[in-house]
Structure 1
Amino acid sequence: MAEPLTDTAGAAGGPAFRLRRSVGRRVVTVLTVLVHRALLLAVLLAVVFAAVELLPGDAATATAERGESAAGIAGRRALLGLDRPVAERFADWMAGLPTGDLGTSARGEPVAGLLARPFPDTLLLGGLALLVTFLASLALGGWAALRPGGRTDRAVSGGATAVLALPEFVVAVALVLVFAQWLEWLPAVTLAGGDGGPESWRMLVLPVVALAVPQIGWNTRIVRAALADEARAPHVEAAVLDGLPGHRVLLRHVLPGALPAIAAGLATSTGMLLGGAVVVETVFNHPGLGTVLAGAVSDRDGPVIAGVVAVAGAVVTGVLLLADLVRARASGGRP
């Protein structure tokens, strides 16, 4: 009697089964990471609400009209819900977060709409700074790695350490002094155009460089260390013994293995860039979230401050997840 035909590809241990199991593991890993980071973001938002509560005064007092009566301020406080416990207000705000409802500002404007206008400008500024950081750190780190222990390597490593210690506002002030005041090559402030964004691309140069310089120092050290670690791999040593040119060994054999560490460093820089953008936008009068955040702190406006943190946290979470996927891809799915 003939045996029934079976699809061994889908059986346990078959190629299709292994593929489904691998995909399932990756999906579970991604979901676990997202839940973990969502919980961390929730804790951070709770800390933000508590910190605003500890500031002197409140939103009702900060936004009151000159000469407004105590009864009027009390009515505004009740309207804003400031007479309720902070934990209750935070719970209500978090309940609307999954639907994109970021609450209402102290001046009666929906927070989501308030952030929607300047967010693209901050994203553009941070994205350009991240691109400059990636290209510059990759070039400098690779240049140093081609001459390990030499004069170039020492100069690049020392310079990276020096700029890493510089705060963004120090770099911003120095750039304004040199390129705007002394040389008069670039504008010192950003003027808004008809669409609310920068009037000219030249107004982006100094803010982008001010944001990127400290992160170039940080990522150049990461790139140099990652390339040095990968250069000790057996297949790289074999390529060197085969007489391949140094730049070809670097690009074809060393760089692919170093990409996970480089991606992780850039992902970490994303949060630093968004945080530094608040200071840099203030220095250059750039129309972004930094201006909104500065006004919200002045108004003691908890929902707006938390909204900025939530938006920035979502961006950083997305970039970190992308870095995790790059690392998983480079390691062939291994943890």
Structure 2
Amino acid sequence: MAGPLSAGAPAGGTALPSRPAGRILAGAALRFGGLLARRALLLAALLAAVFAAVELLPGDAADATSERGETAADTTRRRALLGLDRPVAERFLDWMTALPTGDLGTSARGERVADLLAGPFPNTLLLGGLALLLTVAVSVGLGCWAALRPGGAVDRTVSATATGILALPEFVVAVALVLVFALWTGLLPAVTTADADGAPATASMLVLPVLALAVPQIGWNTRIVRAALADEAKAPHVETAVLDGLAPRRVLVHHLLPGALPAIATGFATSTGMLLGGAVVVETVFNYPGIGAVLAGAVGDRDTPVIAGVVMVTGAVITCVLLLADLVRARAAGGRI
């Protein structure tokens, strides 16, 4: 009588070759490292584009920050002090070389860029993080609600409303919210004031900016969630679960959502960049103490290190979120990145 088959052996009794766990982990780490390197190169290319774009603007930081009564000789000395008399490629390489140490350079007004961003950037992260959480909660809820009744009145209403909302720019939503909730009803403050630490003075001051950021992204991601669930509903295992008579909610939670998760995660990762980009506009409307005012001032000053510093920190956050989305897709695909 033949003995029991060893684990991993086929019915014929011949053992299948197995890959050592260490080799699998090494391969996954190598693929993840390659993905991280590609993201880092993309960010470096974006930073190079920032340096080149500022260089093409009329004037430079020495002209923009000159004081009344300064002579041309004074401006020339400041230009040399700021290194603006050097080629832009050389200045970019120096800035990138110092970046691994956490040095984002010095602004045209003599402030360390890292110190300049230390206060406003956490406020922008708070605003964008709250808007992302609201976007995730509402869009997943609406998309799942519509998926429970495919083709019904709820599905049609949610899809039509989401399409209309995603076409609204953040500043339009912000102005409408100010009119309704601040000017007409007086329920919420229209302007953000900072406390001694530079953060919003009260939690109520976050409500309108968060809504202004989140509403367009809710429309965008609701459509993504609904489309991902509709595509997954065509899968054979989902159709089998429906034919077996499982409850719609059980089919949704145990069969639809796991398969649709990679597409949904990609949508939310993309929204992170849109939220941080839209935060610059929304912060201006609500006088929010974030990086929007810093960036606007830096563009006016032609202050390349500050502009590049803002792009660097926001790009690093977006890159991390995109990597998380890549890991979610990899897990859903059986561990392949």
Q: Which TM-score bucket, shorter chain as reference?
A: over 0.9
Give the C-alpha shift of residue 130 in structure 1.
0.5
Equivalent runs, 1:116-131 vs 2, <5 Å: 116-131=118-133
Counterparts of 1:334 and 1:50, CA distance in 2: 37
The equivalent residue for 1:308 is: 310
Post-superposition Cα deviations, 1:64-119, rounded to whole Å, max 9, x if no partner, equal 11222211111111110111111111111111111111110000011111111111
Counterparts of 2:82 and 2:50, CA distance in 1: 17
The equivalent residue for 2:193 is: 191
Counterparts of 2:266 and 2:29, CA distance in 1: 20
Structure 1 unpaired stretches of 5+ = 1-11
Identity of aligned residues (%): 74
Change (3 A) 1:238 1:13: closer
Equivalent runs, 1:1-335 vs 2, <5 Å: 17-334=19-336
2:100 maps to amino acid: P
Q: What secondary structure is seen at the aligned counterpart in 2 of 1:240?
A: helix
TM-score, length of structure 2 as denominator length = 0.93
The equivalent residue for 1:5 is: none
2:31 maps to amino acid: T
Counterparts of 2:267 and 2:133, CA distance in 1: 13
Counterparts of 2:106 and 2:61, CA distance in 1: 12
Post-superposition Cα deviations, 1:106-160, rounded to whole Å, max 9, x if no partner, equal 0001111111111110110000000000001001111111111112111111111
Aligned residues: 323
Counterparts of 2:300 and 2:50, CA distance in 1: 15
Counterparts of 1:29 and 1:253, CA distance in 2: 29
TM-score, length of structure 1 as denominator length = 0.94
Counterparts of 2:108 and 2:230, CA distance in 1: 53
Post-superposition Cα deviations, 1:213-269, rounded to whole Å, max 9, x if no partner, equal 111111111100111111112221222122222112111211111111111110011
Q: What secondary structure is seen at the aligned counterpart in 2 of 1:199?
A: coil
The equivalent residue for 1:4 is: none
Structure 2 unpaired stretches of 5+ = 1-14
Counterparts of 1:39 and 1:168, CA distance in 2: 30
Counterparts of 2:28 and 2:118, CA distance in 1: 33
Counterparts of 1:66 and 1:160, CA distance in 2: 52
Give the C-alpha shift of residue 14 in structure 1.
6.6
Give the C-alpha shift of residue 13 in structure 1.
7.1
Post-superposition Cα deviations, 1:12-65, rounded to whole Å, max 9, x if no partner, equal 9776x4322221121111111111111111111111111111111111111111
* Cα pair 2:132 2:275 within 8 Å, conserved: yes
